[in-house]
A and B are shown apart, each in its own frame.
Chain A
């Protein structure tokens, strides 16, 4: 603490209170149940003043100044504080509130515990569940619980939890079946929460289990067999172990100088700029790699950024998704058999050819420069361009703000790659 005292001394007004707090911290144990009071705050300030007085005897002008600040603080300590003395504890109760009625508790207390307590009587089978699911759930979660758009995937993903992008579904991740029943019953369907009957909820859960290959198609789930279900990932969770693994290591005096020999930029958000439009539009969209003359990048940042979206093996499903995503491009671009230049150039065989090289198309200056330099369209550079056209090719006439969804970018590239020159 004395080290931080010295560091605080030259600071401007306001440091005095910090100093007081620093002493307060060191001089008492901050149990989680402690409630700050004005008295303790004043006591801390006084303790600091006493320390400051001791330092005065060493004769430094800084400490004299500090002491006067502390005195000022003591005078004003009673005002402007956000603290409140603790609420009084009384014997007995205040007698406020009224007794909750059984009907009221039955209406609101519907949560289901992992051991099945709270489940109402009822049953539902996979077949019924499929009907209810398609009717009430599939618009977001897909007919097969595979998820639509950004809505949650409910099925599959087994053995992906250690992958780069784990697929966390009811089957692959959720440790308790009760969670599914409870959540669906209380919070689903989205926009019509609380409208399912217990039997419908049992049926939907049975169908989700079936979608996850947990049961056969003749399975029926009920309050009677509910707790017999074993979840795939029930042992996959550990209670927060940061105290043992992390705090033990990271509660150390940190390095202040010569902490490492050199520093290089290894990745720049500029090249994976998914910052939203509006206030988020980054001035760095107009930057180039040449803007870092001192701190040289050790890796090709555009590679690092676009690696995820690169679609090397062309997956038919990805191409199909890309066809959908391409709708937003169709206004200006054609691709495929018989395609020709329109507002934008034809895109056949784009990846692998020189940028700005389609015959008969009038390119903007930045594209002409790239063509002259012989720069090739790669999956990576196309991904970067799709994400932020004007950021990557400043001066392009393509009036398109970019594709926000990385999955859409990957799909678009796959789709474009599916058409040869």
Chain B
């Protein structure tokens, strides 16, 4: 227990360990409450007597230290270097739908860069009437909108194609975040530059590119560019974080995260897809027979139970239990989530939380009574198109095991009598 000295507070990680060793730890506290008076109530506590810290102690506040395990985490063996790598949102420990920026996953191809608003330039060129350069303050003068959208890496759950691998919703499903973006519709900027020169727009594209060393670039069909794509400069009410593309990133609702170009510096109207590295060598899905799907932009409906899960065991014994999770679809809204406790033999429809925008995370709850028997927990999302989240077998039958990307399979957690959860595959 390396961090016993870290603080008197209960660190969840250590709690997990002690919970595994002594499953009845939480129950014991309750039993005490029924017998002898609880000193936390009957005795004067320091915090109820001494004063706390004053204002301005932390001009920009961080989570209280007892939550210091709720952080992004990296799986080192996945990538060659943290400069070109990814980490994972601690979705197991969050509730509601909005992801705080500070723990929203990061994906960089050449590291996160510091780019000031003053040094920021956005060029629009190619098949436009008048190629333009905007600076940051220009963007703030254009009509803007607010929308909540999820951003999911196409490789989320990609390690699970060949079998159950990582023990934790953070690691199996944490390449996702969900924020409220403030930004200018891309179509507004394209209209400023004028699209007469592009002629028939139905076969035109925009190529979007970042200012960092990777100059990550992706081709987006004009139809999508004119639809709901945002040039965003705020998230959850405040400036974007450096790691998410400060000062300006692209938001491509419902489509794979790689297209959400950070440090957006250039938008080029073209008459064909550029075929950049990130849309040919990467982010293409290899079938079992060796052929590959390209332009697989939309993220299909998907869900995962975030609690209980391997990092969130049941510590309270049998009785009332909240099974909670997240569902999302790049095709629109989630209309229903079903939960199974027996590995998919029977299903119950979960209660959906308040829905925000289309293509945003939806929270679901199944308020249940746990018998204390082992469970095989699964969740299954449906979206407004009627699409039902597939099983791993359905996906493998269709695509094989080498697709890497777009694994939206139904996830199974095995929960044993002690409430400990584990990532498994079932028949």
Contacts and interface: CB of A to CB of B under 8 A. Distances in A.
A282 B333 contact: no
A168 B284 CA distance: 11
A48 B213 CA distance: 51
A2 interface: no
Interface stretch (A13-21, A63-71, A205-213, A319-327): A13-21
A247 B387 contact: yes
A419 interface: no
Given A104-B123, A245-B398, A276-B75, A254 B333 contact: no
Given A113-B274, A264-B427, A96 B385 contact: no
A246 B426 CA distance: 22
Contacts of A283: 16-17, 19-20, 310, 313, 420
A228 B83 CA distance: 36
Interface string B372-402: 0110100010101111101000100010011
A88 to B, nearest CB: 5
Interface stretch (A123-131, A173-181, A347-355, A359-367): A173-181
Contacts of B117: none
A286 interface: yes
Contact of B207 (A111, A166, A241, A405): A111
Centre residue among A161, A191, A239 by max chain B CB count within 10 A: A161
B97 to A, nearest CB: 10
Interface string B348-383: 010111111110000000010000011010001010
A60 B84 CA distance: 59
A368 interface: no
A228 B94 CA distance: 54
Interface string A117-158: 000000000000000000000001000000001110000000
A205 B184 CA distance: 39
A86 interface: yes
Interface stretch (A266-274, A333-341, A369-377, A378-386): A266-274
Interface residues of B, number: 143
A190 B163 contact: no
Contacts of A246: 300, 390, 398
Nearest to A21: B355
Nearest to B223: A32
Nearest to A265: B424
B167 A179 contact: no
Contacts, number: 382
Nearest to B162: A308
A315 interface: no
B185 A87 contact: yes
Interface in A103-123: 104-105, 108-109, 111-115
Given A276-B75, A283-B310, A293 B374 contact: yes
B268 to A, nearest CB: 6
Given A104-B123, A111-B209, A304-B163, A183 B277 contact: yes
B141 interface: yes
B166 A284 contact: no
A195 to B, nearest CB: 10
Contact of B422 (A179, A269, A280): A269
A175 B280 contact: yes
Nearest to A161: B290
B274 A15 contact: no
B69 interface: yes
B374 A295 contact: yes
Nearest to A263: B343
B296 A242 contact: yes
Top 3 closest pairs, chain A to chain B, by CB: A161-B290, A263-B343, A150-B80
Interface of B: 13, 16-17, 19-20, 69, 71, 73-81, 83-84, 90, 109-110, 123-126, 130-134, 138, 141-148, 162-168, 170-171, 180, 184-185, 188, 191-194, 207, 209, 213-215, 217, 223-224, 226-228, 265-266, 268, 270, 272-277, 280-281, 284, 286, 288-298, 300, 310-311, 313, 332-333, 335-336, 338, 342-347, 349, 351-358, 367, 373-374, 376, 380, 382, 384-388, 390, 394, 398, 401-402, 414, 416-417, 420-427
Interface of A: 4, 7-8, 11-12, 14-15, 17-18, 21-22, 25, 30, 32-33, 35-36, 82-88, 93-100, 104-105, 108-109, 111-115, 140, 149-151, 161-162, 164-166, 168, 170, 173-176, 178-179, 182-183, 186-187, 190-191, 193-194, 236-242, 245-247, 250-252, 254-270, 272-276, 278-284, 286-287, 291-295, 298, 304-305, 308, 404-406
